Amino acid sequence: MKASKITSIETFRVFAIFAVICLHTNPFMHIGVYKWAFALINHACRFAVPYFFITSGFFFGKKIQSGISAWGLFYGYSKRLFILFFAWTLLYAVLPTTFPLKALTQGHFQNEVIPWLLKQPCETWAWISTHKIKFLAQGTSSPLWFLEALGIGLLILTCFIFLKKEKFLLSFSFLLFVAGLMAGPYAVTPLGFHFPLHFNTRHGPFFSTLFVAIGWKLSFLKERPSTTLSISLGMIGLCLQVSEALILWKFFGGCYWNDYFLGTVLFGAGVFLFTLSKPDFGELTIFPKWASLTLGIYVVHMYVRDVINLTVNEISPFHPFPLAWQIVFPLLVFFFSASFVGLLKKSRVTAFLVR
């Protein structure tokens, strides 16, 4: 399989970013009678972040096979990730989410503009001073952890390639994954443990490394995988993931959703294998063209989400159609995030923020 863009992978990038938005807008979470719908949506969307990790590892492997040096390639990836992480950490630290609402409804608030603009940086600094470890791992907005975790996963992959110890990569990364589970969702079991300072194992190398390694390994496939096998693997992974969550919730008092379970590995790998088995999937749709927006959507969608939330609550604290809003809200976040990214990409000054 060539390293050029594969239509199905590009199509599923869009599906995955919408799944991330669903995870962060939590449809049906606060409607008691429909909490089962929230749980199902939450679990069904858990393929998304592993998919992005696997995709990065896959194309990293393809580019190495084309003759690019591992360290040179890692430098290019890490430079881009660092710029995005630093830029959006700064923006989320200083940009008030009430800005669009204030601009629309209170255009006369010039006398209050300085205190208002200083409010967000002051609140951010106060948060950083009491959450130093968390700040180092995720910047000033929770989704930014992905950028750092991806960079660490690629660094570990590059080190194994440089040392010519690739045969140990999957074993090492799986041990990291198990350690992450034991200190994460499985910490409530007798086998679990807790890291000092309440460190969230979602951050760092614990989960990202395995998915990056899986993507790198899949880049060496010479033939298309079986579609039936891919779907079966993904469904088995999803069922296992749900079963793990239910057991942890029922018998150990854990949460019935989490970022990762053992089943998530099979779920994410199955989805990615499906894209390799059907490389033309989505060819006649608009989705492959939207794939270039996905990274930008990822870094801006939390800001857009908060702005929409604040604006809607200001206009009407009570939604007349609460069930419909559960569906409309994620779609609005996706639409406005994509539009915002499109605007940023049009200017040379801001394009670096979303690509």
Across the range 313-338, mean pLDDT stands at: 82
Listed range (110-114, 324-328, 343-347) with the worst mean pLDDT: 110-114
More confident residue, 72 or 117: 72
pLDDT > 60? residue 100? no
Q: Is the pLDDT of residue 104 over 80?
A: no
Q: Give the pLDDT confidence of 185-223 residue by residue, as tens digits.
A: 999 999 998 887 678 899 999 999 999 999 999 999 999
- Hey, what are 248's tokens? 């942890």
Task: Kindly state the DSSP code that residue 224 receives in the 8-state scheme.
Answer: P
Place of tokens 């899949």: 218
What pLDDT is recorded for position 107? 52
Looking at the predicted structure, is the pLDDT value of residue 334 above 90? yes
Residues 278-303 pLDDT 10s: 999 999 999 999 999 999 999 999 99
Q: How far apart are CA 352 and CA 62, in angstroms?
A: 24
> Given this model, what pLDDT does residue 171 score?
96
DSSP letter (8 states) at residue 185: G
Residue 112: pLDDT over 60: no
Contact 184, 258 (CB under 8 A): yes
CA distance 236 to 269: 11
CA torsion sign, 12 to 329 to 89 to 136?
Answer: negative
Separation of alpha carbons 293 and 13, rounded Å? 9
Q: Which of 2-11, 21-30, 307-316 has the highest mean pLDDT?
A: 21-30
Per-chain mean pLDDT for the chain: 89
Which 8-state DSSP code applies to residue 202?
A: T
pLDDT confidence tier of residue 120, bands split at 50, 70 and 90: confident
pLDDT in tens, 125-172: 888 888 888 888 888 888 999 999 999 999 999 999 999 999 999 999
**10-37: average pLDDT:** 92
- Output the CA torsion sign for 329, 201, 74, 8: negative
Q: What does the pLDDT read at residue 3?
A: 53
Helix axes 70-94, 145-162, angle to 10 degrees: 170
pLDDT band, very low/low/confident/very high, at 83 (cuts 50, 70, 90): very high
**This prediction's pTM:** 0.92
pLDDT at 74 over 80: yes
Q: Cα separation of 291 and 1, whole Å?
A: 20
CA angle centred on 184, ends 158 and 272, rounded to 5°? 50
DSSP, res 34: G
Q: Is the pLDDT of residue 98 over 80?
A: no
User: What's the mean pLDDT in 306-319?
Assistant: 74
Which residue did the predictor score with more confidence, 5 or 73?
A: 73
Q: What does the pLDDT average to over 73-77?
A: 95
In tens, the pLDDT along 37-61 reads 999 999 999 999 999 999 999 999 9
Torsion of the alpha carbons at 333, 339, 345 and 348, rounded to the nearest 10: -110
- The residue ranking higher by pLDDT, 3 or 13, is 13
pLDDT for the residue numbered 123: 81
The percentage of the chain sitting over the pLDDT mark of 70, rounded to a whole number, equals 90
Residue 26 CB contacts under 8 Å (≥ 6 apart), including other chains? 38, 42
- Residue 117's pLDDT is what? 65
- How far is it, in rounded angstroms, from Cα 26 to Cα 59? 31
- pLDDT range class, residue 238, cuts 50, 70, 90: very high
* CA–CA dist 323, 310 (Å, integer): 19
Residue 288, both tokens? 């492959």
For 296, residues 6+ apart whose C-beta sits below 8 A from its C-beta are 337, 340, 341, 344, 345, 353, 354, 355
Q: Tokens representing 160?
A: 């194994």
